Structure 1
Amino acid sequence: MDTLEDTLFRQLSYACSEAKQTFAQHLGMSQARWQLLMLLERQGEISHADLQQHLLLDGATITRLVKQFEAEGVLSRRLDPQNNRYTLVSLTPSGHAITAGIRATHSEFQTRLLDGITREEREAMLQALERLRTNIRLIQQEDLGHE
């Protein structure tokens, strides 16, 4: 028989995974693609290396996505004038139009996702998740101390 903690952990995992997959389906775009675009919108111009670090994707995947988006006219690339070993990536006007659509779709998705969950329940869930993330960071720090 599962403990409450086992069930909670499993449900949290499923909810996160299902929400990401469902949003990607709803949007009609893979998670890696929409996250890359939204990161560029927030950060402005950014290097391939920074994209890789922020999105936790390998270099080949970043290069493939960037080339696809560039071919679609969604973003542009240029050599970093400070160091021509790096390529900088930024959204084009078409890319900004797409991210505006992603934001609108995300807002509508969030509304539907949270339907029937009261403000009090949302606040309690937020507090619990903030504490959970604090605990995760503490575990990470402890693990680094044991290396």
Structure 2
Amino acid sequence: MTNSCSKEAIILYKLHFLNKEISSKFEGCTGVSQSRLELLRHLYQVDEMSQKELQKEINIDNAAITRHLKQLEANGMILRRKKPSDNRITLVSLTDYGRQKISFYQEEKKRFVTSMLKDFCEEERELLLDMLNRIQNSIKEI
């Protein structure tokens, strides 16, 4: 970034770059993307749910949920089946292996976040969270 950029443009660039870098490092450290971990976390809380409900819960598009679920199914972490009373609905559940792995992923996530925020005191973390929430609220209003 050059000096000709406004502070606001630099902030936008930094947020974009941090998002990409955090996603990449998170997956490298934990072995799973944040999106897949969120998906697994939702499934962990229920016995089974429809693919459509899961898609709405984690707020991703149809192609992305299908891609994630195919990969997780190939890795033996989830099962998908058609609802007997309505063949158009796909039901999704965690396998026993998926339930075991989610605990591991959660611990890795905790270590990652601790490392990422190690140079921030509690007050700074609260301030950062407040600022991020304000940015998120502003974006919703656009």
Tell me the TM-score normalised to structure 1 length: 0.79
Please state if 1:106 is matched with 2:109: yes
The one of 75, 79, 99 aligned to 2:78: 75
Instruction: Give the stretch that moved more between structures: 114-123 or 42-51.
Output: 42-51
Once structures 1 and 2 are overlaid, which stretch shifts more, 31-40 or 18-27? 31-40
- 2:29 match: 26
Match of 1:125 in 2: 128
Task: Give 1:66's aligned residue.
Answer: 69
1:96 equivalent to 2:99? Answer yes
| C-alpha distance in 2 between matches for 1:73 and 1:119 | 39
1:4-23 residue pairs with structure 2 within 5 A? 4-23=7-26
Q: Decide which of 56, 60, 65 is 1:56's aligned counterpart.
A: 60
SS in 2 for 1:116: coil
1:84 counterpart = 2:84:
no
Aligned residues: 138
The answer to whether the 8 A contact 2:40-2:102 is kept is yes
Question: In percent, how many aligned pairs have the same letter?
Answer: 34
What RMSD in Å do the two structures reach over aligned CA positions? 2.3
Uncovered stretches (5+) of structure 1, i.e. residues with no partner: 140-147
Which amino acid counterpart does residue 56 of structure 1 have in structure 2? I
| Residue identity in the other structure for 2:111 | E
Shift in alpha-carbon separation, 1:10–1:67, aligned structure 2, 3 A: closer
Distance 1:136 1:44 in 2: 34
Q: Which deviations, in whole Å up to 9, do the C-alpha atoms of 1:89-136 show, x marking residues without a partner?
A: 010111111111110000000000001111121111111111111111
Indicate how the Cα distance of structure 1 residues 126 and 51 shifts in structure 2: closer, same or farther if over 3 A, else same.
Answer: same
